[in-house]
């Protein structure tokens, strides 16, 4: 289905996607989600056959935990919690492990920060890969990380949940890369 905004930009670039529903967050009506003082929030029906690859942009305004924000992919409004997630920190070359979620490189103890994650073919019945970058500032330091993640099950995912041990406040947007 071609949308007017696709035609306006020649069908190129990133297209903001509006989730069908949000858990623990508020949609501004256009697809940018605000979350405040939550330990997790979910976006449903953001991945579809319309796009193969996606960019997720997160701005963190406040956090209360010195842990990384993780993600789980979703199917029909439910998190996939199998031990099929693998991730590796870009600054720790030898560390890779299997777990029930994957890190997105967003350290939630930052006074403010931002993360970008590219996620590849989550809706296709194939292995899903993701790459993320984070930059953050605390009162005494500047942090920068990158992570690489894989969800090794061949499933079709349509949503995503972000999780943290402490409270987090900020905004997130999901964009589809136009084909």
SS3 for the chain is CCCHHHHHCCCCCEEEECCCEEECCEECCCCCEEEEEEEEEEEECCCCCCCCEEEEEEEEEEECCCCEEEEEEEECCEECCCCCEEEEECCCCCCEEEECCEEEEEECCCCEEEEEEEEECCCCCEEEEEEEEEEEECCCCEEEEEEEEEEEEEECCCEEEEEEEEEEEEEEEEEEECC
pTM of this structure: 0.81
Tens digit of each residue's pLDDT, the chain (179 residues): 445 555 555 566 899 999 999 999 999 999 999 999 999 999 999 999 999 999 999 998 876 666 678 888 999 999 998 878 777 655 433 344 445 455 454 444 555 778 899 999 999 999 999 998 877 665 566 667 778 888 888 899 999 999 887 788 899 999 999 98
């Amino acid at each position: 289905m071609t949308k007017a905004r696709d035609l306006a930009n020649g069908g190129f670039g990133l297209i903001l996607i509006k989730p069908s529903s949000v858990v623990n967050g508020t949609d501004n009506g256009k697809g940018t989600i605000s979350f405040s003082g939550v330990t997790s929030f979910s976006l449903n029906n953001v991945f579809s056959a319309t796009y193969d690859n996606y960019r997720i942009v997160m701005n963190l305004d406040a956090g209360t935990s010195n842990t990384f924000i993780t993600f789980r992919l979703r199917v029909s409004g439910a998190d996939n919690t199998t031990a099929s997630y693998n991730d590796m920190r870009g600054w720790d070359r030898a560390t890779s492990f299997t777990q029930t979620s994957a890190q997105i490189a967003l350290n939630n103890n930052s006074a403010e920060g931002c993360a970008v994650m590219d996620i590849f073919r989550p809706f296709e019945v194939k292995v899903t890969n993701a790459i993320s970058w984070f930059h953050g500032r605390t009162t005494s330091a500047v942090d920068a990380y990158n992570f690489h993640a894989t969800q090794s099950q061949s499933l079709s995912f349509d949503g995503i949940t972000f999780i943290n041990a402490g409270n987090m406040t900020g905004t997130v947007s999901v964009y589809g890369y136009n084909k």
